[in-house]
Chain A
Amino acid sequence: MSSRRYILWWVLPAAILFLVIILIPFITALTFSFRSFSFTSSLSTGQYIGVDNYRKLVFDNDFYNSFKVTFLYLVPAILLQGILGLGMALLISGAVRRARILIPIMLLPTLLTPVVIGLIGVLTLNPDFGVIGQLLKKWGLVQGSVLGNASTALPAIIAVDTYQWTPFIAVILTAGLLALPKEPYEAAQVDGANPIQTFFRVTMPLLWPYFVVALLIRVIDAFRIFDIIWVMTRGGPGTATETVAVYAYRHTFRYWDFGYGSALIMVIFVFISILVEYLYKALQRWQAAQ
């Protein structure tokens, strides 16, 4: 057997997996997005309607609103998780060096399924018997239910999401901190840096690539947030917590409009790709300029 063919055999399982799990569903969704699935047409193939779904989408204000909600959730959530994660990593990295077991313990919230995390959120925020919900009510910070109030539902989701994902960022940054070279620190010490200068002029720039990776993973992930929201608020009250993923889900599996749902998903996909590419380039440029 020639070595080329030999290589093919090794690549084949992964290629098949990729085909079945990613490529086929993706192409299916793509073709669906050009079709209409009303009850008058065949439900399995739908009816070809060209770019009508996309045309409809352009004028869909609810869709734009879901984008706005996504960003209202994403930006504060990721800033919060980045800052808390960094703080946690700085506090704990010294201890982790001596006790590696701390890493899996830290990661516990991240390892739980989002549905469970969402349920934890619902229960703790319940105004009648939830630990936090009761306190918020007692102190008069929230009228009635946190999740039933349009102005507090999204912050609550951000808080729960932060609870789940901060440790993830902390673990990546801890690994980064432990892997940093010690020479620049000694050079900085001799060069005259005090601890604060050392943090901003040595630790942060060295840690920056780890930060970028962690934040990029979170941005991609946050764009697809669905489970926590569905469990906690179902996108409500009203559309206060309806992110793009929730909106697409509603159209696809509530209104059974596979065509429009697929078109939404395609747009979200393209948007995330562009966003990630742009963010990555921007962060690289920012780093290069430093």
Chain B
Amino acid sequence: MTVLTLKNVWKIYEGNVIGVEDLSIRVEDGELFALLGPSGCGKSSTLRMIAGLEKISKGELWFDDVLVNDLEPRERNVAMVFENYALYPYLSVYENIAFPLRLRGMSQVEIDRKVRWAAEFLGITDLLPMRVRGLSGGQMQAVGIGRAIVRQPAVLLMDEPISHLEARQRARMREELVDLHSQLGTTTIYVTHDQVEAMAMAHRIAVMNLGKLQQVGTPKEVYNQPHTKFVGGFIGEPPMNFANCELSSENGEFYVVSPSFKVKLSPQAAAKLENYHGDAQVQLGIRPENISVSMTPTESSFAAKVYVTEPQGDRTLLSVLLDSNELFLIEVAPDFFAPPDETVYLKFNEPIHLFDRVEEVNLLY
């Protein structure tokens, strides 16, 4: 039962390369917390600093009210599940899981009880006598997880644990991990580059990019209220569409204007912009499901040219070219079809996001 706090944590590598920049996060007791971002965003460095495998260059790391910066990994009572499993290849499944217990000099009776508990928990009891070399990726990771949970750690760290599995197995492991967490209730930090994984599993997500924290929030929050353009574009599949435009006001109403369209902002959005004094150059962001398409013009719709229609079975993805030469991806009904170069009419629905073009922060949240 541990609350984990990072206070202004930096990781600076040799040659002044910044891995993690001024990161402050508080992970609550029993939370399943995801660190999400593309490769090189600093999420793995953060995890390794929490594990103690890498030194913290600056800042503080607290487990409850203990400052752990200078503690060795073995003094932190953390367990880690590795991306490439990191099993002991010369040991059996049983001995791999028993390894951390043997290091603590536990009695054989106690070890046996705990190993069997973990194996049963993960449904790998029949693998126990086997050597790890011949196991499949999913089985190996189950062993890795068994080794991590067998000693009831204060914090459970998972570094892309299922990213090497094939898609179907990954989906099943995702569910198993959520189930595992809800039964164990251990504070868990889960690193992934896959936004689907983070959205599906985590209580809260910290989105990182280029070493910087972009946003912390529940899956709903980061999806519906992205604080930065990066978060908006990274979360959601297919991704958010962006268009360069200008802000203008007429008779107390706010409009977003581009060569292709002119959209009136909602009163709530307009209220948020009252205090905005930046450049009028902004970027509009809108998700593929928030655009409606019709073959005939409607009120406040604008024209675009069909580029490609991609049927997906449960839905169809329509890409269109705006007059400004920007490509937009739109989710439409599964039976929708329009030939290339056909003119269609688009209409934006709420929520619309506006990002500052330089700072790339969301102006509406």
Q: Mark A161-192, 1 if CB is under 8 A from B, else 0.
A: 00000000000000000000001101111111
Q: Does A208 contact B (CB under 8 A)?
A: yes
For the complex of A and B, the 5 pairs showing the least CB-CB separation, nearest first, are: A183-B86, A192-B74, A191-B100, A187-B86, A205-B90
Contact A197 B103 (CB under 8 A): yes
CA distance A136 to B86 in the complex (A): 52
Contact assessment for A187 and B90 in the assembled complex, using a CB-CB cutoff below 8 Å: no
B251 to chain A, nearest CB (A): 63
Give the shortest distance, in Å, between B197 (CB) and chain A (any CB). Answer: 22
The answer to whether A194 has its CB under 8 Å from any CB of chain B is yes
Distance in angstroms between the alpha carbons of A205 and B85 in the assembled complex = 18
Q: How far is the CA of A202 from the CA of B80 in the complex (A)?
A: 17
Instruction: Tell me the chain B residues, 67-90 only, with Cβ under 8 Å from chain A.
Output: 72-74, 78-80, 82, 84-90
- Which of B82, B102, B104 makes the CB contact (< 8 A) with A183? B82
Other-chain contact of A187, B72, B80, B104 (Cβ < 8 Å): B80
Q: Is the CB of A190 within 8 A of B103?
A: no
Task: Tell me which residues across on chain B come within 8 A of A190, comparing CB atoms.
Answer: 51-53, 73-74, 78-80, 157
Contact yes or no, A194 B74, CB < 8 A? yes
**Interface CB pairs A-B, < 8 A, 16:** A186-B80, A187-B82, A187-B147, A188-B99, A190-B52, A191-B99, A191-B100, A192-B151, A193-B103, A194-B74, A194-B103, A205-B90, A205-B91, A206-B90, A287-B90, A290-B90
Interface flag for A201 (CB, 8 Å): yes
* Residues of chain A with a CB closer than 8 A to B86's CB: 183-184, 186-187
- CB nearest to A184 among chain B residues: B88
Closest Cβ–Cβ distance, residue A208 to chain B (whole Å): 7
- Known pairs A187-B86, A190-B74, A191-B103; list 9 more (Cβ under 8 Å): A184-B89, A186-B80, A187-B147, A189-B53, A192-B151, A194-B74, A202-B88, A205-B91, A206-B89
Interface residue count on the B side (C-beta < 8 Å) = 26
Query: Is B88 a contact of A205 with CB atoms below 8 Å?
Result: yes
Of chain B, the residue at the smallest CB distance from A288 is: B131
Q: In whole angstroms, what is the CA distance A193 to B91 when docked? A: 16
Q: For residue A192, which residues in chain B have a CB less than 8 angstroms away from its CB?
A: 73-74, 100, 103-104, 151
Interface centre among B74, B100, B102, B157 (most CB of A within 10 A): B74
A183 lies within 8 A of B84 (CB): yes
- The CA of A287 and the CA of B89, in the complex, are separated in Å by 12
For B79, list chain A residues within 8 Å (CB): 190-191
Per the bound structure, the CA–CA distance linking A187 and B79 in Å amounts to: 9
Distance from B70 Cβ to chain A, minimum over Cβ atoms (Å): 15
B residues in contact with A189, CB < 8 Å? 52-53, 72-74
Task: Report how far A265 CA is from B103 CA in the complex, Å.
Answer: 50
Give the residue of B82, B89, B102, B151 whose beta carbon is less than 8 angstroms from that of A186.
B82
Closest beta carbon of chain A to B98's beta carbon, Å: 10
Q: Which residues of B contact A208 (CB under 8 A)?
A: 90
A192 to chain B, nearest CB (A): 4
Distance in angstroms between the alpha carbons of A206 and B85 in the assembled complex: 16
**Chain B residue at minimum C-beta to C-beta distance from A193:** B103
Cβ contact within 8 Å between B90 and A186: no
- Given the complex, which residues of B lie within 8 Å of A183, measured CB to CB? 82, 84-86
Question: Smallest CB–CB gap between B180 and chain A, Å?
Answer: 18
Q: Report A-chain residues with C-beta under 8 Å of the C-beta of B147.
A: 187, 191
**Residues from chain B with Cβ under 8 Å of A194 in the complex:** 74, 103
Roughly how many angstroms separate A208 CA and B73 CA in the complex, as a whole number? 26
- How far in angstroms is the closest Cβ of chain A from B187? 15
Instruction: Give the residues in chain A near B82, CB-CB below 8 Å.
Output: 183, 186-187
- B90: chain A residues at CB < 8 Å are 205-206, 208, 287, 290
Given contacts A192-B74, A193-B74, contact A187 B103 (CB under 8 A): no
Bound: A287/B90 CA distance, A: 8
Chain A, residue nearest B72 (CB): A189
Closest chain-B Cβ to A290's Cβ sits at a distance in Å of: 6
What is the bound-complex CA distance between A287 and B131, given in angstroms? 12
For B91, list chain A residues within 8 Å (CB).
205, 290
B131 nearest CB neighbor, chain A only: A288
- What is the minimal beta-carbon distance from B49 to any residue of chain A, in angstroms? 13
CA distance A201 to B74 in the complex (A): 15
Measured CA separation A189–B51 after assembly (Å): 9
Q: Which residues of A contact B52 (CB under 8 A)?
A: 189-190
Q: Is the CB of A186 within 8 A of B53?
A: yes
- Nearest residue, chain A, Cβ from B150: A191
Q: Given known contacts A184-B89, A190-B73, A192-B104, is B99 in contact with A201 (CB within 8 Å)?
A: yes
Bound Cα distance A202, B100 (Å):
12
CA of A184 to CA of B147, assembled, Å: 12
Q: How far is the CB of B74 from chain A (nearest CB, A)?
A: 4
Q: Which A residues touch B157, using CB under 8 A?
A: 190
**CA distance in complex: A192, B89 (Å):** 18
- Considering the chains assembled together, what is the distance between the CA atoms of A206 and B72 in angstroms? 23
Q: What's the Cα separation between A93 and B151 when bound, in Å?
A: 34
Contacts of B151 in A (CB 8 A): 192
| CB <8 Å contact, B87 and A184 | yes
When chains A and B are docked, how far (Å) is the Cα of A183 from the Cα of B51? 14
Q: Most chain-A Cβ atoms within 10 A of its Cβ — which of B78, B82, B85, B88?
A: B88
The proximity string for B residues 119-154 relative to A, scoring 1 for CB distances below 8 Å and 0 otherwise, is 000000000000000000000000000010001000
